[in-house]
Structure 1
Amino acid sequence: MTARREVPLGTVQETLLIPLYGRAVENRKPEPALRDPRAEEIVAAIDYDFARFDGLPSLMGSVLRTALFDQWVSDFLADRPEGTVVELGTGLNTRYERVGNGRARWFELDLPDVVDLRRSFFTDGARRTTIAASVTDRSWADTVASGSAAPYFFAAEAVLPFLAEEDVRRVIGGIAERFPGSLLALDTAGPGMVDAQDEHDALSKVEARMRWACAGPAGIADWHPGVEVLASHSISALPSPLFDRLPGPYREMLSGLAQQRLPQVEEYRLNLLRLP
């Protein structure tokens, strides 16, 4: 019997296991919001108490967030099939397997301990490169710039809320300066959600805590004149093309959430920006 891989991750890095498990659980459903057999394989190979997340609504939320980010990347590649995708804080994401087209240049960035874990399951290729660095360390941009060409799509999924606001400003400002005109997908958590995160169904199971409270993407546009907000959605108000493809139970659930307008749902936004 093959030994399961231990996961000696840092506090914030541990949160990557939540969306991983969400996708694995989703893949077992007869009608999933997305398919991810690799996530199931990875969960089975890791020595971790995933049962602590069983039945949590946030698992479903993480799957829907990933599905929307997948859609944005797919739309980008449909228009620019030889563009460049950069995943910031990639964790154990499998977006390359789900939506990669074999022509785009793809970079997956995360901290060294996460990259060490990733290398147990993924290998680099001619068009796929892993970078071991902090998102706040601007040196990674040199690697991306030297091995790729515009246009660029940057995906920061479940990453930036765990940074201090000044670090988020520097990260976004650095991308805008080095890769002008690029697209950036990111999630934001409002002040009420950050203040109440000790009661959050999933975050209460881990030690990591969000540090950056953002009322909405308009605030980011105020930091950097010229930023264009292309889209901003709550989990309960996903764009029609994605919503219409979801299984019936998901559509019913989301319609109910939209009517309730729960602050903890509405304050969490999924955003697509074009940087100046």
Structure 2
Amino acid sequence: MSDGAGVQLGAVEQTLMIPLYGRAVETRKRRPLLSDPRAVQIVESLDYDFTRMKASASGATGAVLRTVMFDVWVRRFLAEHPDGTVVEIGTGLNTRFDRLDNGRVTWFDLDLPNVIALRRRFFDDTDRRQMLPASVLDQAWVPTVQTGPGPYLFVAEAVLLYFEPHQVEDALHLIGANFPGALLAAETGGRAMADSVNRNDVLRSMGARMTWMCEDPAEVECLGVRLLESRTFLEPPPELRARMPLRLRALSLVMGAVFRRRVRSYRLNLFRFVEDVTEPRPESASR
């Protein structure tokens, strides 16, 4: 896919348009859960056909709910570590730094070179935010991020689900070996979730597929992390639930009743990498 101005995006990279569109739509609502005027500006300026997303309103709403749930963990991290470092893996056209910046955090936006090329049309590097054109699987980004002050929070929103299982293992091992004790916010999804995602008309039209399946986020602990918190869309954090519009609370209840297995198969998780980097990798984590 080309955005009409020379940037080519692959199947998985195209999925960045879904949360972007969702934030723009949410911002225009009378009582938005998230206000993101920058997303509105980007959607209006991109030469991209968002028509197919208009027919999937629940998908856009789900992307917004996911984003604000991840935002809660970022806010908590910045409240406890205002001078820490946040790394957004697969940043796409996310505006999380613009929305949550506390004036002190060091921030790195990491994504593939073609995505960063697109991102640079709308965002600039600053003394505290830097865009890194690289795959999370590429060791090259590590030394730059290590210049940022600890502790570290890595945010992988709508990224790992599209990796092959061995790529998830490689990514977590790379982060854990270089940033022991760091936090990681990431999703897991089981078979019910994968079946739903892979039948989704928008994702199918993009050619994207969910390839990493995990029925229980505790299973990821064999890759050198500890599970600290895990939530479904039916279990938003208290500080988020208190400000959720009635329409979203109702939607969550309906989705939970109608798509119970699917909703419970998809979890948003907060992990911490083990701090003993000399600890041998578990046998079950090897390819």
Q: What is the DSSP-based 3-state SS (H/G/I as helix, E as strand, rest coil) of the residue aligned with 2:215?
A: coil
2:93 corresponds to 1:84: no
Q: Give the alignment of 1:135-174 within 5 angstroms.
A: 135-145=136-146, 147-174=147-174
Which residue among 250, 253, 256 is the counterpart of 2:254? Answer: 256
Q: What is the DSSP-based 3-state SS (H/G/I as helix, E as strand, rest coil) of the residue aligned with 1:47?
A: coil
Q: Which residue of 2 aligns with 1:128?
A: 129
Q: Which residue of 1 aligns with 2:244?
A: 246
Residue 92 of structure 1 aligns with an amino acid whose one-letter code is L
| CA–CA distance in structure 2, aligned partners of residues 4 and 205 of structure 1 | 18
Q: Which residue of 2 aligns with 1:95?
A: 96
| CA–CA distance in structure 2, aligned partners of residues 201 and 100 of structure 1 | 35
Q: What is the DSSP-based 3-state SS (H/G/I as helix, E as strand, rest coil) of the residue aligned with 2:11?
A: coil
Residue 166 of structure 2 aligns with an amino acid whose one-letter code is E
Residue 63 of structure 2 aligns with an amino acid whose one-letter code is S
Instruction: Check the 8 A contact 2:192/2:265 in 1, yes or no.
Output: yes
Q: Which residue of 2 aligns with 1:270?
A: 268
| CA–CA distance in structure 2, aligned partners of residues 24 and 154 of structure 1 | 24
Q: Which residue of 2 aligns with 1:231?
A: 229
TM-score by length of 2: 0.90
| CA–CA distance in structure 1, aligned partners of residues 80 and 35 of structure 2 | 23
TM-score by length of 1: 0.94
Aligned length: 271
Identical residues among aligned pairs (%): 46
Instruction: Check the 8 A contact 1:237/1:254 in 2, yes or no.
Output: no
Structure 1, unmatched stretches of 5+, are none
How far is the alpha carbon of 1:245 from its aligned partner?
1.1
Q: What is the DSSP-based 3-state SS (H/G/I as helix, E as strand, rest coil) of the residue aligned with 1:202?
A: helix
| CA–CA distance in structure 2, aligned partners of residues 190 and 7 of structure 1 | 33
Write the deviation string for residues 59-106 of structure 1: whole angstroms up to 9, x where unpaired.
Answer: 111000000111110110011100000000000000001001110100
Q: Which residue of 1 aligns with 2:283?
A: none
How far is the alpha carbon of 1:194 from its aligned partner?
1.8
Residue 240 of structure 1 aligns with an amino acid whose one-letter code is P
| CA–CA distance in structure 2, aligned partners of residues 235 and 46 of structure 1 | 30
Instruction: Check the 8 A contact 1:7/1:47 in 2, yes or no.
Output: no
Instruction: Check the 8 A contact 2:113/2:133 in 1, yes or no.
Output: yes
| Closer/same/farther in 2, CA of residues 33 and 130 from structure 1, 3 Å limit | same
Higher mean Cα deviation, 52-61 or 15-24? 52-61
Q: Cα RMSD over matched residues?
A: 1.6
Q: Give the alignment of 1:11-160 within 5 angstroms.
A: 11-56=11-56, 57-145=58-146, 147-160=147-160
Higher mean Cα deviation, 116-125 or 260-269? 260-269
